[in-house]
Structure 1
Amino acid sequence: MNELIIETIHKYEKPGDFTHAEVTDEMIANAEAILNIKLPEQYITFLKMYGHGGIGGLEVMGFGLTGRMIFVDATLDYREDDLPENLVVIENVDEWLTCIDCDTGKIVSWDFSGYIKEDFDDFDEYLISQMNDVIENM
């Protein structure tokens, strides 16, 4: 994971911003098996370090304290609304979902009409951008 991300989280994190769930390789493998995808390493690192959450109201889906796979539940729910099988939901932004394209590692926006827009080249780029937006508005 990018050092800037770690430093930024360390500087701005408040109690309760992240679950800091203990995420194991077995939990990751289980999530990947359920969704029939391979998660990018950058996102796996985030999951293992922070579990679920974000600074300043940003909420990146991950694992809850009880081990609940929040991102898996959301992805399965939206697959019923025709979310493509290669996308994994990491953030719900009301009008659209922010997803990881597990075929390319890119971060995309998806809406219920089926429109997909590439937003970022990878998870770290997405997280840095989102955190910078939050910090600017603090």
Structure 2
Amino acid sequence: MSIEKIIKGIKIIDLHELDDDFSGIKDEKLITLAEKTLDLKFPDDYRFFLQVLGCGDIGGREFYGVIDSDFINSSIPDVVWITLQERFESGLPNNYIVISDTGDGSYVVLNYIECDEDKIMIWTPGINDPNTSFDRYYSDFGTFFYDQIVNLI
């Protein structure tokens, strides 16, 4: 169902001719390399997003993803680069990847481990207590993506 939300979001972008700047289709080998570099497996809905859109922005909302295989000499919106940076500099737990920002110094992060709880959280770097540094945000990536698009029209 979450992948369907991404498809609906893309249809809204096309229907309303929204000004978007996504990098486009990404090869499966690049996505697998990103997973290996981060030592994880992306959830199906986020993997689908990477396959069809890669990364990019629309209406000021940036969605981090994969650009190319140079994860070290990169920058935002490269999900591997920013996640590795935040793991090293701010102690982001290894079960999260950074998928967007909030504009106020916090990040939108995705918990890639299968769980019954919300997978998308708002994370505020610099707060050492995990009970207060993470706030629940969305149940899955597809719903998060769709809602961001709907809020633009």
Q: How many residues align?
A: 132
Q: Which residue of the partner structure matches residue 107 of structure 1?
A: 120
So what's the TM-score if we normalise by structure 2? 0.78
Q: Which residue of the partner structure matches residue 85 of structure 1?
A: 94
More strand per residue: 2
| Paired amino acid for 2:80 | V
Change (3 A) 1:61 1:96: same
CA distance in 1, matches of 2:70, 2:142: 23
RMSD: 1.8
CA distance in 2, matches of 1:121, 1:43: 13
Kindly indicate whether the alpha-carbon contact (under 8 Å) linking 1:23 and 1:67 is maintained by their aligned counterparts in 2.
Answer: no
Change (3 A) 1:7 1:68: farther
Where in structure 2 are the equivalents of 1:1-138 lying within 5 Å?
Answer: 1-2=3-4, 3-11=7-15, 12-14=17-19, 17-20=21-24, 22-64=25-67, 66-69=68-71, 70-80=78-88, 81-93=90-102, 94-104=104-114, 106-112=119-125, 113-114=127-128, 115-135=133-153
So what's the TM-score if we normalise by structure 1? 0.85
> Displaced runs of 4+ in structure 1, greater than 4 A?
66-69
Change (3 A) 1:36 1:100: same
Report deviation, 1:133.
Answer: 2.2
SS in structure 1 at match of 2:122: strand
The percentage of counterpart residues that share the same residue type is: 28
Report deviation, 1:104.
Answer: 3.3
CA distance in 2, matches of 1:49, 1:55: 15
CA distance in 2, matches of 1:132, 1:67: 31
Report deviation, 1:68.
Answer: 4.8
Structure 2: runs of 5+ lacking an equivalent: 72-77
Report deviation, 1:5.
Answer: 1.4
CA distance in 1, matches of 2:70, 2:47: 15
CA distance in 2, matches of 1:54, 1:129: 14
CA distance in 2, matches of 1:67, 1:46: 17
Structure 1: runs of 5+ lacking an equivalent: none
SS in structure 2 at match of 1:134: coil
